[in-house]
Structure 1
Amino acid sequence: MRIIEDALWDGVKARQGAIRKAMNPAGTNSGRPRLEHARRPAHLLAGLMKCACCGSSYTLIDKNRYGCAAPRNKGESICTNRASILREEVETRVLDGLREALLHPDLIAAFAEEYRRAFNETAADANAERDKAKRDLAKAEKKIAGILAAIEDGMYHPSMKEKMAALEMEKSGLARFLETSPEPPALRLPPRLSDLYRGKITPLSES
């Protein structure tokens, strides 16, 4: 016997699934779950930077600077790299590099192609719904014509009235759907699509 609503149950299960996925290293869903992966990093690059000298993690050594953790935690016998960098500076460098890479002409072309693909998929779905409605409308009209022909031939039965009413209602609904769902227009890419893409990428640092 349930004590909570289905929507709440489903929401909790989805959240639990997301946490389990986050707890697995590299998304492999194998091995022992890593609890630290269930926590959201406090900073943009936390846990992503490595020391080029020894491979240890570059971590915040104070409030605003990153440095190699090895010489500070294990001594200089492990690593002598004590170079540090401001958190804001390294984040700016990374984001500027990402922005420059994402503005490569090949990626702008990929954006346009993805736009075209998404548009065509949506149009195909709309056309499929319209085609089905047209077929159903033709079937309903054919059945109505059949009942009328039977009545004209003197084969009237009281049940025909109810059947006719249902068919007329179905026909009306299908006709209304076709009227309010015009065929999708042909694909026309926005004239400044590349500018739209650049506009999405440029404020990356602020986001």
Structure 2
Amino acid sequence: MTARQGEIEDDRRVRAIKQSRFWEQRRKVHLLTGLPQCGCCGGGYAAVDRDYLASSAARKLGACTQRRAFRRGDLMALILVLLRDRVMQPAAVASFISAYGS
């Protein structure tokens, strides 16, 4: 190791970074990670920026025509509203319980 590399290794900031072992920490998992699917191709949505999701088939493979990216927060809010208004209705819950309940 060169003298300069030794200086870098001995720097207190570098030691603190190495002690934190930041590379072993998991990324923040969002509420709907892995669940949204593209309405055009049925493929999954992937993060394209810190705050945006888009069809991974369109972005990575060019196999989908849905090129628009959506704000993660807006998409999550829309999905939660649809779940509340359409899925969690008393009649739908009763139907689910009668079909799959014990």
Give the TM-score normalised by structure 2: 0.54
Of the three residues 63, 66, 74, the one matched with 1:89 is 74
Q: Following TM superposition, by how much is the alpha carbon of 1:105 offset from its aligned partner in structure 2, in angstroms? A: 4.1
Q: 1:53 to 1:107 in 2, by over 3 A?
A: closer
Runs (5+) with no aligned partner, structure 2: 1-25, 95-102
Q: Residue 65 of structure 2 corresponds to which residue in structure 1?
A: 80
Aligned positions, number:
68
Percent of pairs identical after alignment? 35
2: CA distance between counterparts of 1:70 and 1:91?
20
Q: CA deviation at 1:40?
A: 9.2
- Structure 1 residue runs of 4+, over 3 Å off? 105-108
CA RMSD of aligned residues (A): 2.6
> What is the CA–CA distance in structure 1 between the aligned matches of 2:31 and 2:66, rounded to whole Å?
23
Counting only pairs closer than 5 Å after superposition, residues 113-128 of structure 1 correspond to structure 2 as: none
Q: Which amino acid aligns with 1:96?
A: V
Offset at residue 48 of structure 1 (A): 0.8
Q: Which residue of 1 is the match for residue 49 of structure 2?
A: 62
Q: C-alpha deviations, 1:25-53, integer Å up to 9, x for none?
A: xxxxxxxxxxxxxx997111111112222
Number of the residue aligned with 1:42: 29
**Based on CA coordinates, which of the two structures has the bigger radius of gyration?**
1
Structure 1 residues 59 and 106: CA distance shift in structure 2, 3 A? same
What is the deviation of 1:106? 3.4
* Structure with greater proportional helix content: 1
In structure 2, the partner of 1:106 is: 91
The alpha carbon displacement at 1:107 in A equals 6.5
Specify the SS of the correspondent of 2:64: coil
